[in-house]
């Protein structure tokens, strides 16, 4: 059951499946978490080097795993 998994695991799994997604879509696709929970964990993971956060040309924060080649942009994360 997804609710019993730690926040970190849910976020990393969703980003891995999406390859690259924006912060808002990720928060929407994890409805059991608040936007603040997602943001705080993304911030922590990026500071630890477990995720890369960039800003695209429209001002959206994009999230991906390190080592993932920039290719097609996937807007939605699916856990």
Q: Classify 2-64 by CATH class.
A: mainly alpha
Q: Give me the torsion for CA of 54, 75, 26, 39, rounded to 10°.
A: 20
Q: Per-domain residue ranges for the chain?
A: 2-64
Residue pLDDT, tens place only, 36-76: 999 999 999 999 999 999 999 999 999 999 986 655 444 44
Secondary structure of 19-70 as H, E, C letters: CEEEHHHHHHHCCCCCHHHHHHHHHHHHHCCCCEEEECCCCCEEEECCCCCC
**pTM score:** 0.76
């Amino acid at each position: 059951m997804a609710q019993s998994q730690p926040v970190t695991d849910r976020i990393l799994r969703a980003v891995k499946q999406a390859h690259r997604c924006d912060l808002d879509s990720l928060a929407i696709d994890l409805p059991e978490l608040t936007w603040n929970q997602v943001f705080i964990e993304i911030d922590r993971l990026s500071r630890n080097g477990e995720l890369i956060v960039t800003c695209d040309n429209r001002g959206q924060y994009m999230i991906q795993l390190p080592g993932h080649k920039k290719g097609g942009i996937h807007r939605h994360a699916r856990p």
